[in-house]
């Protein structure tokens, strides 16, 4: 029933029985037409030639070590894990090399390894480790087994014609079909989710189906397991993610396409996971495009796969490193193999010359016809810069679950960017960081997000898995640049509660590059409390020589509470306008839960009402925070590292502005990137920020008005309607007897005289 309904819903472009068309191998990712093209051009396309040379080096190194198919035993980072991983990552290249170099040794080695797997596989029970909710057979989780099959399908496709019928039969019957069954029917909790794990599963099953011309498997890949009855109760994977969603009525690859991405191509777990998740999408889509072009898979849901790739490219800092949203290991970038494949494939579809700039920066291409095409583009075309716009990314399959805004501006050739997060929780990998923001100067972190507490695949650190400090520190609100009330994380640190609601966009204005404004609210992070943050990136040299980021964080709550506003500046502290008392000979943790137990309390200052500043130097750039304080505000210098028995955390410093016993406070600050230093010339340029005077001109339930006064006598005023964000509504306020009018939720006005 589900299947039929789904097909009817999905435009009827499918026939109930497929006419599988892989008549001539290779057909899956590399095609035989691709092989012809590569043979013709190879040697004359530098980027592709580099790719081939690297593949030869890698594969020769693998072959030199001989056929290694050890008994599955270890976790990520351990011997058996790394050997099996290397096998699938290199063996698909060996298959391609066989095709394009016509050297049988590659096919023979590929065959030998696959045969060893075919001998081993029937003897295997599930992996001995019990760390996963869905253990694989080769690896500790089905997820990695699915990775294996995605790549090994390609290897098999490439040597298909090298094998005789008997050999194929052995591989298919002893290895590939049972393998596909195990990760699907054998593990429905893994296979039938709307989740990146399942996408890998779907793609793996689908790709081997296409190679083997197995219609039943292909159906299972595209539409999931029908026979898998929902349990009705909630279950969680070992990352804390929900396994089953009770109202889920679809599964399989189409369901993933329909539900994984927002209409802007954003994936709710964040770009680090989106990057990882892209591989099965893009590989299986390319395979479907090759074998079943009539599905027009890349047109599905208004071209959602291309949008997802562009979203990833845009969700990166000035050097292409992804913003570390949620559980993300920092420095992952669009140079990853997943994005290399994705960009080459999208380029082969749209031929956008700006993508070629990315291809060039990646420095290597996919080892197939799309890589050849992209490499030829780099060689032959006038490249256009890949410009990343300021942009709003909605979250949720229908864009209904909040989102992100990226504000970007340029300053002396540097790419300043601000990521504002008001999205959904991000499932099990989500952080409790509603309305947080992070600020970048190129790839320098000005105000950082901690990212994940994990060394991916490094065995010494808990087998390369998430460290327990990921939960106790990295996910907690205090680890982010957002407000924390009463030292308790958003949603009381409960992922399920976080999943139930989302922040909401309040206002976005990205048209005038001089004044970029984003604003959002959250009504659920704390009970009976409205959080409302507005960020405005101002880059107008007639006002101020450098870009400045104005931040207005307003809380409407009930009763008195303690409010902590953290600023995760990156080292090194330069100076502050206030004196502080440093704890010189004894350090204690700042608190005892919600991440506070991990913070050494290094120094304290007492502020009075007024304006303070605080400046730091990171990566040879100077930054200054200017902000308003209230009477009895405390400034706390913290440093991560308490209660960290195995030195798992980075011992980074940060600042907390603390307001005690406050009712509905507002925090207003400006961050300013203003200078640089060279350790070679030893000359500091603009080490001090020019003065900015911040004034809270008005703040009540209805309206907030903030005035910035600059040294040149000019002023900027930000007018905000706090309750009504209708675009056409005209607002009027009276400030010191002067009337101001504006239209819509928020407007920034420049005033030339005081």
Residues annotated as part of the active site: 273, 429
Q: Which is nearer to a copy of itself, 290 or 321 (CB)?
A: 321
Task: Give bridge partners of residue 750 from the DSSP assignment.
Answer: 716
Q: How many CA atoms within 13 Å lie on the side-chain side of 208?
A: 29
Q: What is the rounded CA–CA span in Å between residue 721 and residue 737?
A: 19
Element (DSSP H or E) covering residue 485: strand 484-485
Q: Which is nearer to a copy of itself, 349 or 446 (CB)?
A: 446
> Is residue 456 a contact residue for a copy of itself (CB under 8 A)?
yes
| Rounded (10°) CA dihedral 362, 159, 143, 264 | 40
**Residue selected from 248, 329, 509, 632 as contacting a copy of itself according to rule CB under 8 A:** 329
Candidates 700, 704, 591; CA nearest to 656 is 591
Q: Which is nearer to a copy of itself, 53 or 458 (CB)?
A: 458
Q: What is the rounded CA–CA span in Å between residue 681 and residue 448?
A: 28
Residues 54-93, mask of contacts with a copy of itself (x by CB under 8 A) = -----------------------x----x--x--------
Residues 638-677, mask of contacts with a copy of itself (x by CB under 8 A) = -x-xxxxxxx--xx-x-----------------------x
Ranges within 556-575 binding a copy of itself (CB under 8 A): 571-575
Q: How far is the CB of 151 from a copy of itself (least distance, A)?
A: 14
Residues 684-723, mask of contacts with a copy of itself (x by CB under 8 A) = x--xx-----------------------------------
> What does the DSSP assignment read for 612-666?
EEEEEEETTEEEEEEEEE-TT-EEEEEEE-TT-TT--S---EEEEEEEEEESS-E
C-beta separation of 159 from 171 below 8 A: no
Ranges within 585-604 binding a copy of itself (CB under 8 A): 585-589, 597, 600, 602-603
Give 318's DSSP letter.
T
Q: How far is the CB of 436 from a copy of itself (least distance, A)?
A: 22
**Residue selected from 15, 387, 680, 739 as contacting a copy of itself according to rule CB under 8 A:** 680
Q: How far is the CB of 686 from a copy of itself (least distance, A)?
A: 10
Instruction: Give backbone dihedrals phi and psi of 270, rounded to 5 degrees, phi first.
Output: 105, 165
Q: How far is the CB of 622 from a copy of itself (least distance, A)?
A: 9
Q: Which is nearer to a copy of itself, 252 or 371 (CB)?
A: 371
Candidates 184, 32, 155; CA nearest to 89 is 155
Task: Give bridge partners of residue 694 from the DSSP assignment.
Answer: 708
Ranges within 332-351 binding a copy of itself (CB under 8 A): 332-333, 335-337
Q: How far is the CB of 146 from a copy of itself (least distance, A)?
A: 17
Alpha helices in 411-473 (DSSP H): 468-469
> Is residue 331 a contact residue for a copy of itself (CB under 8 A)?
yes
Instruction: Give backbone dihedrals phi and psi of 197, rounded to 5 degrees, phi first.
Output: -55, -45
Q: Which is nearer to a copy of itself, 607 or 642 (CB)?
A: 642
Can you tell me whether residue 38 is helix, strand or coil? helix
**Residue selected from 584, 736, 752, 754 as contacting a copy of itself according to rule CB under 8 A:** 584
Q: Which is nearer to a copy of itself, 214 or 338 (CB)?
A: 338
Angle of helix 337-350 versus helix 369-380 axis, rounded to 10: 70
**Residue selected from 459, 530, 619, 695 as contacting a copy of itself according to rule CB under 8 A:** 459
By DSSP bridging, strand 436-441 and strand 715-721 are: unpaired
By DSSP bridging, strand 436-441 and strand 746-751 are: unpaired
Q: What is the contact surface with a copy of itself in residues (CB under 8 A)?
A: 77, 82, 85, 329-333, 335-337, 455-461, 464, 571-575, 582, 584-589, 597, 600, 602-603, 615, 617, 637, 639, 641-647, 650-651, 653, 677, 679-684, 687-688
């Amino acid at each position: 029933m589900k299947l039929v309904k789904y097909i009817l819903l999905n435009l009827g472009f499918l026939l109930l029985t497929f006419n599988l068309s892989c008549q001539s191998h290779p057909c899956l990712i590399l095609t035989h037409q691709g092989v012809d093209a590569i043979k013709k051009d190879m040697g004359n396309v530098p980027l592709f030639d580099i790719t081939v040379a690297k593949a030869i080096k890698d594969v020769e190194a693998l072959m030199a070590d001989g056929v290694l198919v050890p008994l599955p035993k270890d976790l990520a980072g351990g011997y058996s894990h790394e050997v099996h991983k290397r096998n699938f990552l290199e063996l698909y290249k060996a298959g391609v090399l066989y095709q394009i170099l016509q050297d049988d040794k590659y096919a023979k080695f590929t065959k030998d390894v696959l045969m060893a797997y075919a001998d081993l596989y029937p003897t295997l029970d599930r992996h001995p480790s019990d760390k996963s909710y869905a253990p694989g057979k080769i690896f500790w989780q089905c997820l990695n087994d699915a990775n294996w099959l995605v790549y090994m399908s390609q290897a098999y496709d490439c040597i298909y014609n090298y094998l005789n019928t008997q050999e194929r039969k052995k591989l298919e019957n002893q290895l590939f079909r049972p393998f596909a069954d195990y990760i699907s029917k054998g593990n429905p909790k893994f296979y039938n989710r709307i989740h990146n794990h399942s996408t890998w599963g779907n793609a793996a099953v689908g790709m081997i189906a296409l190679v083997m011309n197995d219609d039943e498997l292909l159906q299972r890949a595209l539409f999931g397991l029908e026979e898998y009855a929902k349990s009705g109760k909630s279950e969680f994977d070992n990352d804390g993610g929900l396994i089953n969603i009770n109202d889920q009525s679809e599964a399989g690859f189409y369901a993933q396409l329909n539900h994984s991405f927002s209409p802007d191509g954003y994936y709710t777990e964040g770009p680090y996971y989106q990057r990882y998740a892209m591989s099965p999408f893009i590989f299986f889509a390319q395979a479907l495009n090759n074998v079943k072009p009539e599905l027009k898979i890349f047109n599905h849901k208004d071209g959602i796969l291309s949008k997802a790739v562009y979203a990833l490219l845009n969700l990166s800092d000035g050097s292409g490193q992804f913003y570390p949203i949620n559980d993300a290991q920092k420095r992952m970038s669009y140079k990853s193999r997943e994005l290399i494949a994705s960009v080459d494939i999208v380029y082969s579809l749209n031929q956008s010359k700006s993508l070629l700039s990315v291809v060039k920066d990646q420095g290597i291409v996919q080892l197939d016809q799309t890589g050849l095409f992209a490499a030829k583009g780099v060689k032959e075309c006038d490249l256009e810069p890949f410009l990343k716009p300021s942009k709003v990314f909605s979250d949720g399959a229908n864009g209904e679950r909040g989102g992100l805004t990226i504000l970007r501006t340029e300053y002396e050739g540097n790419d300043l960017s601000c990521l504002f997060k008001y999205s959904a929780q991000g499932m099990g990998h989500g952080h409790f960081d509603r309305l947080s923001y992070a600020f970048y100067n190129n790839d320098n972190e000005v105000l950082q997000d901690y990212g994940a507490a994990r060394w991916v695949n490094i065995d010494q650190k808990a087998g390369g898995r998430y460290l327990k400090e990921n939960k106790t520190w990295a996910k907690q609100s205090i680890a982010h640049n957002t407000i924390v009330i009463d030292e308790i994380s958003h949603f009381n640190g409960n992922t399920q509660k976080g999943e139930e609601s989302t922040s909401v966009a309040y206002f976005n204005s990205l048209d005038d590059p001089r004044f970029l404004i984003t604003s959002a609210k959250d009504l659920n992070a704390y009970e009976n409390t409205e959080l409302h943050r507005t960020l405005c990136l101002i880059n107008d040299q007639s006002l101020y020589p450098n870009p400045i980021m104005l931040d207005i964080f307003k809380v409407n709550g009930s009763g008195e509470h303690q409010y902590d506003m953290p600023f995760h500046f990156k080292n090194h502290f330069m100076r502050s306008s206030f004196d502080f008392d440093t704890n010189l000979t004894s350090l204690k943790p700042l608190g005892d839960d919600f991440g506070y137990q991990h913070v050494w309390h290094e120094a304290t200052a007492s502020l009075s009402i007024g304006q303070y500043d605080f400046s730091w130097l990171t990566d040879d750039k100077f930054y200054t925070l200017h902000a308003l304080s209230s009477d009895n505000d405390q400034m706390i210098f913290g440093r991560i590292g308490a209660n960290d028995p195995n030195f798992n955390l980075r011992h980074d410093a940060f600042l907390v502005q603390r307001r005690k016993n406050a009712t509905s406070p507002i925090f207003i600050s400006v961050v300013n990137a203003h200078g640089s230093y060279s350790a070679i010339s030893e000359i500091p340029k603009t080490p001090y920020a020019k003065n900015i005077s911040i004034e809270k001109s008005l703040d009540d339930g209805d309206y907030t008005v903030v005035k910035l006064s600059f040294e040149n006598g000019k002023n900027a005023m930000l007018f905000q309607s706090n309750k009504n964000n209708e675009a056409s509504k005209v607002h009027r306020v009276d400030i010191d007897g002067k009337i101001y009018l504006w239209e819509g939720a928020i407007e920034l006005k420049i005033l030339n005289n005081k």
